[in-house]
Chain A
Amino acid sequence: MADRARNQYGLGKAVTFNVITPMTRFGTLVVGVLLSIFDRFKSTQVTAKELAFLPFVHWVVVKRDSFPRVSDSQPAEDLHYDYLFFLSTFNGPWGPYIEAFADVLYKPLDLVWFWSVGYPFARPVGPLKAYIQRNQIESDHSYSAYPGASVRDVRAALELRNEVEKLFQNSGGLSPERFAVEFDRLLISVQNKLGTFGPV
Chain B
Amino acid sequence: MLNLTNIQGNILRGYASFPHAQFLFFEIQNADDARAFIQRLLETNAVTPALWRAKPDATLNIAFTFEGLRALGLPTESLATFPCEFQEGMKPRANELGDIDESSPEHWDDPWKTHRVHMLISIYGRTEPALAAHCQQLRDSLPNGVQELKDSQPAGLLHINGEQTRKEHFGFLDGLSNPAIEGVPDDGGRDRQDVGNPDEKGRFRKIPLGEFLLGHPGEGGEMAPMPLPHLLAHDGTYLVYRKLEQDVVRFRRYLDDQADAFARTIPGPLPDGVSPQKFLAAKMMGRWQDGSSLIEHPDAPREDRRNAFGYAGDPAGARCPLGAHVRRANPRDAFGFGGKTMSRHRLIRRGIAYGKFLPKGEEQSPQSQEKRGIIFIALNSGFDQFEFVQQKWMNFGDDFEQGNDTDPIAGNRPTIGGRQSAQMMIPGDEATGRRPFICFDIPRFVTTKGGDYFFVPSLAALGLLASGRVVA
A interface list, Cβ under 8 A from B: 13, 50-51, 53, 91-93, 95-96, 99-100, 103-104, 123-126, 150, 152-153, 156, 184, 187-188, 191-198, 200
Contacts and interface: CB of A to CB of B under 8 A. Distances in A.
Given A95-B384, A96-B344, A192-B317, A124 B402 contact: no
Given A53-B399, A93-B392, 12 more contacts: A50-B337, A53-B398, A91-B398, A99-B220, A100-B337, A103-B340, A126-B223, A126-B225, A150-B398, A187-B435, A188-B428, A192-B425
B416 interface: yes
B398 to A, nearest CB: 5
Among the interface residues B396, B399, B404, which one has the most CB atoms of the partner chain A within 10 A? B404
The size class of the interface chain B forms with chain A is 35 or more
Contact of A103 (B341, B414, B430): B341
Contacts of B341: 51, 100, 103-104
A1 B405 CA distance: 28
B402 A195 contact: yes
A177 to B, nearest CB: 15
B120 to A, nearest CB: 27
A93 B316 contact: no
Contacts of A197: 403-404
Nearest to A102: B220
A167 to B, nearest CB: 15
Contact of A192 (B221, B222, B316, B414): B316
B258 interface: no
7 contacts: A93-B388, A99-B344, A153-B403, A191-B316, A194-B425, A195-B405, A196-B404
B391 interface: yes
Given A93-B384, A153-B403, A191 B344 contact: no
Given A93-B384, A192-B317, A187 B222 contact: no
Given A96-B388, A192-B425, A198 B404 contact: yes
A96 B345 contact: yes
Contacts of B225: 126
Contacts of A194: 403, 425, 438
Given A194-B425, A195-B404, A100 B220 contact: no
Contacts of B425: 191-192, 194-195
Given A156-B401, A198-B416, A188 B391 contact: no
Contacts of A104: 337, 340-341
Interface string B305-340: 000000000001100001000000000000011001
Interface string B21-61: 00000000000000000000000000000000000000000
Interface string B212-254: 0000000011110100000000000000000000000000000
A195 B220 contact: no
B427 A192 contact: yes
Contacts of B435: 184, 187-188
A156 B428 contact: no
A125 to B, nearest CB: 6
A96 B390 CA distance: 14
B147 interface: no
B416 to A, nearest CB: 6
Given A51-B341, A96-B345, A187-B428, A156 B403 contact: yes
Contacts of A96: 344-345, 384, 388, 392
A182 to B, nearest CB: 13
Q: What are the nearest 3 A-B pairs in CB distance?
A: A195-B403, A103-B340, A195-B402
Among the interface residues A13, A184, A196, which one has the most CB atoms of the partner chain B within 10 A? A196
A198 B397 CA distance: 12
Contacts of B403: 152-153, 156, 194-197
A100 B405 contact: no
A93 B399 CA distance: 13
